[in-house]
Structure 1
């Protein structure tokens, strides 16, 4: 068997090669409005428009469902219920429990009960409101506290443990306890949930869906329609944002559109209005976390007992893995000593919560940072010094996590020290302390927090990807892979990788829409793994073709393989050169296959859930952020003054895109910990269901000084061109802002009190924390 050429040594630089700051492949189309999304696509003649009738109650039995007025409404062509589903009704992504349409009972306010198809979008929406729905209401569980009291769970609890946590805590000189409420988060993608289903021959269906997981949409549509998967094709060119909200929850709307199309024989589009999208689709899980931690007099952790309680909603969705990841990341960057982590998956009568950037990781990381702040206040030290004291280190065996994975290639200490110096942390800390001593109303806060984030799907079989590459006789290259483009630049990076392998300009490489009939059985684009998996698969496909071309050239021209090079759009053949286009034509004329699939699966990973031990992550991405805030203690309002971020991306495939991802992730993390508040009333109705009541960060919420640098050092693991994932890890940098706000409030008690401040830290909550901290300081003298 011939060995593949070594891409690290043979790749030559060309226009848009991997490693350069090449613009996003659709940037000009995004700006000009030319980018085509599902709702922009030309519709076939006779297309119907579908909309749902939603449950007006959070829990109960359906007593009456009168759809007569809906059927008689103007423009209505069909009205379908659960009884009209020919195949599977349950579309649960991993575990059962999520009916396509409610049947007999409802489990959250906003749950779809029926679907109406009409000749216009507005007609369908108007008709859906005409149904008479009566429900015998039952007590609804709305909060985590409700679920814990009722012992209501979507999946059984799970624990991870190293050593004897209870004994270590008991023997520790100092024991701290705390609890933390962590709010959820709406995805607020610019493009809402939308699907277009077009009937095909032999009961087939063409589905255009704004989905991060086309293969799952294909599978569920096939099961709902009771047809083989090979009759269903799903096409996804681009999304206007996903952030995890379209990993599983795009499937329901695609299935409903396909159901209508199958029943009527006409194309059908389904698009949710923003308020219904927010009410009827899942969000980031709210969490209620508790901890008991034992430390020595210096603040070094001896043992920790942590419980994370995820607010899962009415059905499992991905909650089992999400709570697992919160457990995995409850240490963040710190060695917890003897530790026990328990995770509960709480069932409530709210929409089923789902994946969101970082999955469950942020809910663990934020708890670890809360503990560091509390320890620092107790022992009277700078929080950064306590953080550095507790970092994972190779010395003394302090490099093994509570799930028994060794933290290899640890750059945390070096990275933090570099940011500490570049952000001028120590001088600013001294200046802020002095400022606070002389400023009775306005208080400044400063925090420098790290992040260590594991990269890989924690469900092992998802860590695989495929790709398909064609070279045409004019030298142009077409690439298809299993990842989806949602604005993060995945297609750009894959095109750069392929262009570099063949030594051609990126303009000669086209990455086409993700399609289930080109690359089958794909994993979702999630877990920060899009480039890691699909980039490697595309590279492997390119290397297969490249080796064929090298073998052909060697035989055809009588050359040693070492004399054949691909660079600058040309092929060097010993002393002569030929354009890549001419060489492609020559290879075709000599019957060399110019098409190949590529496949990749992540090595080394494993996790035994029964033993709660293994290596669930291929590697860790790391980073640190330093945030400074100014808090008005009379109103609770605050301003973010400066942010400095140093983030580890390995060898960057595209520095411009990576920096953009870091900036965007930080902004989204900032919203999560400060402004984005989800509110349900006691009946289970989401009150913050539009842009007027739900506040995402705006430009004026970002700091005036915003410095982002890449900590560029090649990933020691064999990732694509030794890069590291960048999608999710920077999200956790927003936590530094919450810690900085707590730092400012703590100054009211001369940094002796660690304020009770839960997230999101809205001005109201900050004001409550200010008042409580002042009261505690006065009580303690």
Structure 2
């Protein structure tokens, strides 16, 4: 089965994670590591074993413990990310059968999940961990909780229910969502062995391999001489180890490299040597091996302070899947201006050995090494052979820092390496190197600042002068690419301040005679010298147990596992693009507008026709009927004359394969006459609305489902048009960047308000006007909304007593099918094992309402219940005649008596409607309530924040399924953390979307959830207006994440007070590191003032 690809081959999500196993002839052992299948070339798998999630267990025979535990601990919802997470855990267990909790959390740095909120995944896999500090309870791992006073104990209770808390027999609270005693134990001896046929190759001499494709040739030499000769023959050839850079360039930037050289088998490029002056790492030395070497505390770890800094940078360098395949040399030769490691190597004075047919030469990574954007002094025919990192000297100190939008698996905004060497026994600077990334088109040295600081004493005066010098030298144009100019400039000073304090703290511990070299740093500054540390997650989930006496087969109110969880954990779940291909199937790729507002002058597809496999180009002239579509009939299937947004669909290319259709789509040429676009609310507002006193802003966000749309409106229309044109099946799966371009999102709002108050501060009036950026077309109208409160269901009962249930809701991971099975189980009085749901289809339940607005369980649950009641009413005479009979007996008798065993159910929410003209009516059937309290820490110097603790109490009525409801609460809350702290769509002033994928649009990762995460379902609060006294859950908990936003704002207030700043301030959502740092006004922010608005063209704007 095809691997899951959420990020469309950008190594950004981990959904495609597999385990790579190989015999390493250099270490003479078998190695297992994770990798992203989306960019790992098949050519690089020669003599390598690949294990996918299907290869470790399945639902027909046996689930592997890594699959079983994520399924039974409710760690899977939509399931698209689950195979990748399972394989990350499985690979960790192959390498370390008894991991620590820190190992588990580190293993997931390269995996993303949009549904679960991560907590249940970590909780389930905690059962593998060697947990220190408390013993694991037999039913769940974690601290015992007293449900009366909330205090936590380290004492094992055996059942997680404290007897002293059972005074109220009518209401018993539980924290056991799963029973870990049911898990099968992990037996490392039963894992699949490494293929013997690959082991037989270990003593054989490898021979050069060459793979030739349609446009690219892959050559894998076995000796250094072969590589040097090939590089001389093909000087523009790319050297590829992990393909993490070249693969993305070819995929996204439409780059073509006809010749690729893979040096994986060359001994001279796979070793580490320790010399008298430093450690020499070969070009292909993998980053994960480098990290592991430092963690093992080898000799070089103690000899070099650079190792400490490099280890800290590697800790946040991408995810394990990237570090396992990316090489040190690749990081250098890529010459990225935001490289995590190049500033470290430059500041350390590392030396590079280059080799070519003309011999070897050594160059130093200094200010001359990088000559321009992604350019170096290395000649095209040269190969980087090794990197020498010098050992540190006595009196030498080194630090490295990185700031990104998200701590885990994110590219840097600013990164740096800083080194200082003092004259022996003094605090006088002998040499200093300050290297920065993200402040220029290349990694740079602050040469002027370093020169001025040399010969100075390490004291307060040096700090002040250094900051002023850096503020001048690390200047940026207000229109600089990447934006965030003030933030980036401030970071250069903040990083130096951290470095200054770190060095000062170490100097204070050294003596020159009877005196210390300097005084200890003030206690309130110590936190600036500490590295980021996050404790393993602690969590508790409390819910009301089912009433005593409830039948065992009645599953309503019990934490039933998601019915698809096992299939998802085994990779057996079928998603839209997994549907088998037809023999004559073709592939479609969209051609979209690159302009936000323009007239279409011409569309030329002639160049696309030369691409192999091209079939046809489809546009508006191929629409047989009306080209108008959309809820308000204000959209088109294909744009004809004018485009109104970047991503407006103009046409589509159909070809025989996905790759050919993509290439052909990129070859379509479109000429425009540009019109002035309205991109931001402010521009629109200035044209139509008079000025009001103050304002606040809420950001635009994209849902970022892990599976991209396959038939996306209006794409479903154009698929039909394409089929009508050629008469053959057509498949279209949107790339992530296409999906984000043409999909709507959570609309941004601009609020403007007036406040009237008395002299004593009492508020007397408030006038608020909110403006929404609704996009380029109309959305759901109130008229359409009225028909969204209805649902249908269909039930078939078969003679063996089994039940086929169909309803109008769509299962997308939220557990709707599971809940409907539970509802039918109680309604019919039969076990859930007898009830089966095949799919949602309009040929069984027509005219369905959208599965949205968190009402699906309410309306579909009632429809299912009504259908069940129809069946039961028909069975009533039979049950009266045979009251002791079984369900199967009654069904068989009904069949024999020709009683229909099929029934439909229908339900609509009563008395809901609102007249906005008269302001009368009932807009909502009922209300959902929730409360959250969050605690955060912020780094006032960098803008980073850490979510320490969150407590949530949510009213879900009488829960149909506590595990699913708690999962929805946690998932919504963590998604809200993204909404309020990091997720931000960034547009150019011309309306071009920059954030088109996981590379720039960041959603929360495992490390972003609260360290202490406690969720309770409000007890004894039945809701009479919904099925079995339940309430909707899904979107309502999302806004509780605002508690994190306001906790951050409260922390900023505290930081500003420490700096003597007391006036109010504006903090827009999301509270990104940029906004947090800029709001923490201090000396450094004042040194980097903002440019006057209107005097420059910004790189990006807020819509």
Normalised TM-score (structure 2) = 0.47
Distance 1:251 1:714, change over 3 A: same
> Aligned pair 1:273/2:735, yes or no?
yes
Distance 1:633 1:668, change over 3 A: same
Any conservation in 2 of the 1:289–1:308 contact (CA below 8 Å)? yes
- Determine the structure 2 residue equivalent to 1:28: 566
- Determine the structure 1 residue equivalent to 2:771: 309
Any conservation in 1 of the 2:926–2:1025 contact (CA below 8 Å)? no
> Aligned pair 1:56/2:594, yes or no?
yes
- Determine the structure 2 residue equivalent to 1:105: 642
- CA offset digits 1:230-261 (Å, max 9, x no partner): xxxxxxxxxxxxxxxxxxxx221222222212
Give, in whole Å, the separation in 2 of the partners of 1:737 and 1:259.
47
Distance 1:121 1:289, change over 3 A: same
SS of 1:194's equivalent in the other structure is: coil
> Aligned pair 1:708/2:984, yes or no?
no
Q: Which runs of 5+ in 1 are unaligned?
A: 1-7, 158-175, 196-249, 322-456, 558-572, 777-781
Once the two structures are TM-superposed, the CA of residue 749 in structure 1 deviates from its matched residue by: 5.0
> Aligned pair 1:583/2:907, yes or no?
no
Once the two structures are TM-superposed, the CA of residue 178 in structure 1 deviates from its matched residue by: 3.9
Distance 1:21 1:766, change over 3 A: same
Any conservation in 2 of the 1:637–1:763 contact (CA below 8 Å)? yes
> Aligned pair 1:290/2:752, yes or no?
yes
Give, in whole Å, the separation in 1 of the partners of 2:700 and 2:991.
15
Give, in whole Å, the separation in 1 of the partners of 2:1063 and 2:812.
43
Once the two structures are TM-superposed, the CA of residue 301 in structure 1 deviates from its matched residue by: 5.7
Any conservation in 1 of the 2:596–2:991 contact (CA below 8 Å)? yes
SS of 2:952's equivalent in the other structure is: strand
Give, in whole Å, the separation in 2 of the partners of 1:72 and 1:144.
43
- CA offset digits 1:190-243 (Å, max 9, x no partner): 100103xxxxxxxxxxxxxxxxxxxxxxxxxxxxxxxxxxxxxxxxxxxxxxxx
SS of 2:562's equivalent in the other structure is: coil
- Determine the structure 2 residue equivalent to 1:230: none
> Aligned pair 1:179/2:695, yes or no?
yes
Any conservation in 2 of the 1:62–1:136 contact (CA below 8 Å)? yes
> Aligned pair 1:47/2:585, yes or no?
yes
- Determine the structure 2 residue equivalent to 1:472: 798
- Determine the structure 2 residue equivalent to 1:694: 1001
Count of aligned pairs: 536
Give, in whole Å, the separation in 2 of the partners of 1:272 and 1:775.
42
Once the two structures are TM-superposed, the CA of residue 185 in structure 1 deviates from its matched residue by: 0.8
Aligned partner (choices 496, 502, 521) of residue 847 of structure 2: 521
- Determine the structure 2 residue equivalent to 1:609: 916
Once the two structures are TM-superposed, the CA of residue 772 in structure 1 deviates from its matched residue by: 8.1
- Superposed, 1:8-23 pairs within 5 Å as 13-15=551-553, 17-23=555-561
Distance 1:589 1:79, change over 3 A: same
Distance 1:773 1:707, change over 3 A: farther
> Aligned pair 1:189/2:705, yes or no?
yes
Once the two structures are TM-superposed, the CA of residue 718 in structure 1 deviates from its matched residue by: 2.2
Give, in whole Å, the separation in 1 of the partners of 2:908 and 2:550.
26
> Aligned pair 1:633/2:959, yes or no?
no
> Aligned pair 1:76/2:76, yes or no?
no
- Determine the structure 2 residue equivalent to 1:511: 837
Once the two structures are TM-superposed, the CA of residue 298 in structure 1 deviates from its matched residue by: 8.9
Once the two structures are TM-superposed, the CA of residue 302 in structure 1 deviates from its matched residue by: 4.4
Any conservation in 2 of the 1:755–1:773 contact (CA below 8 Å)? no
Aligned partner (choices 711, 720, 739) of residue 258 of structure 1: 720
SS of 1:718's equivalent in the other structure is: coil
Once the two structures are TM-superposed, the CA of residue 69 in structure 1 deviates from its matched residue by: 2.3
Q: For structure 1, which segment, 65-74 or 486-495, has the greater mean C-alpha deviation from structure 2 after superposition?
A: 65-74
Give, in whole Å, the separation in 1 of the partners of 2:1084 and 2:809.
52
Give, in whole Å, the separation in 1 of the partners of 2:936 and 2:1004.
15
Once the two structures are TM-superposed, the CA of residue 711 in structure 1 deviates from its matched residue by: 0.7
Distance 1:496 1:700, change over 3 A: same
- Superposed, 1:481-630 pairs within 5 Å as 481-554=807-880, 557=881, 573-574=882-883, 577-630=884-937
Give, in whole Å, the separation in 1 of the partners of 2:784 and 2:950.
31
> Aligned pair 1:769/2:1079, yes or no?
yes
- CA offset digits 1:498-534 (Å, max 9, x no partner): 0111111111111221111111111100011110110
Give, in whole Å, the separation in 1 of the partners of 2:708 and 2:842.
22
> Aligned pair 1:142/2:679, yes or no?
yes
- CA offset digits 1:131-188 (Å, max 9, x no partner): 1100000111111112223349xxxx9xxxxxxxxxxxxxxxxxx9641111111111
SS of 1:459's equivalent in the other structure is: helix
Give, in whole Å, the separation in 1 of the partners of 2:629 and 2:1020.
43
Once the two structures are TM-superposed, the CA of residue 719 in structure 1 deviates from its matched residue by: 0.8
Any conservation in 2 of the 1:746–1:753 contact (CA below 8 Å)? no
Give, in whole Å, the separation in 2 of the partners of 1:620 and 1:286.
24
Once the two structures are TM-superposed, the CA of residue 775 in structure 1 deviates from its matched residue by: 9.8
- CA offset digits 1:75-111 (Å, max 9, x no partner): 1222211111112322212x12111110111111121
Give, in whole Å, the separation in 2 of the partners of 1:513 and 1:302.
56
Give, in whole Å, the separation in 1 of the partners of 2:772 and 2:716.
28
RMSD: 2.5
Give, in whole Å, the separation in 2 of the partners of 1:101 and 1:715.
50
Once the two structures are TM-superposed, the CA of residue 474 in structure 1 deviates from its matched residue by: 0.6
Any conservation in 1 of the 2:794–2:845 contact (CA below 8 Å)? yes
- Determine the structure 1 residue equivalent to 2:1042: 735
- Determine the structure 2 residue equivalent to 1:130: 667
Give, in whole Å, the separation in 2 of the partners of 1:712 and 1:85.
56
> Aligned pair 1:756/2:1066, yes or no?
yes
Distance 1:757 1:54, change over 3 A: same
Q: Which runs of 5+ in 2 are unaligned?
A: 1-545, 1087-1103
Give, in whole Å, the separation in 2 of the partners of 1:264 and 1:16.
53
Once the two structures are TM-superposed, the CA of residue 112 in structure 1 deviates from its matched residue by: 1.1
- CA offset digits 1:41-77 (Å, max 9, x no partner): 1122111111111112111111111122223432122
Any conservation in 2 of the 1:110–1:276 contact (CA below 8 Å)? yes
Once the two structures are TM-superposed, the CA of residue 753 in structure 1 deviates from its matched residue by: 4.2
Distance 1:298 1:461, change over 3 A: farther
SS of 1:276's equivalent in the other structure is: helix
Give, in whole Å, the separation in 1 of the partners of 2:710 and 2:1066.
41
Give, in whole Å, the separation in 2 of the partners of 1:463 and 1:659.
25
Once the two structures are TM-superposed, the CA of residue 681 in structure 1 deviates from its matched residue by: 0.6
SS of 1:717's equivalent in the other structure is: coil
Give, in whole Å, the separation in 1 of the partners of 2:950 and 2:1025.
32
SS of 1:640's equivalent in the other structure is: strand
- Determine the structure 2 residue equivalent to 1:408: none
SS of 1:251's equivalent in the other structure is: coil
Give, in whole Å, the separation in 2 of the partners of 1:655 and 1:296.
48
Whose radius of gyration is greater, 1 or 2? 2
Where relative contact order (Cα < 8 A, 6+ residues apart) is larger, the structure is: 1
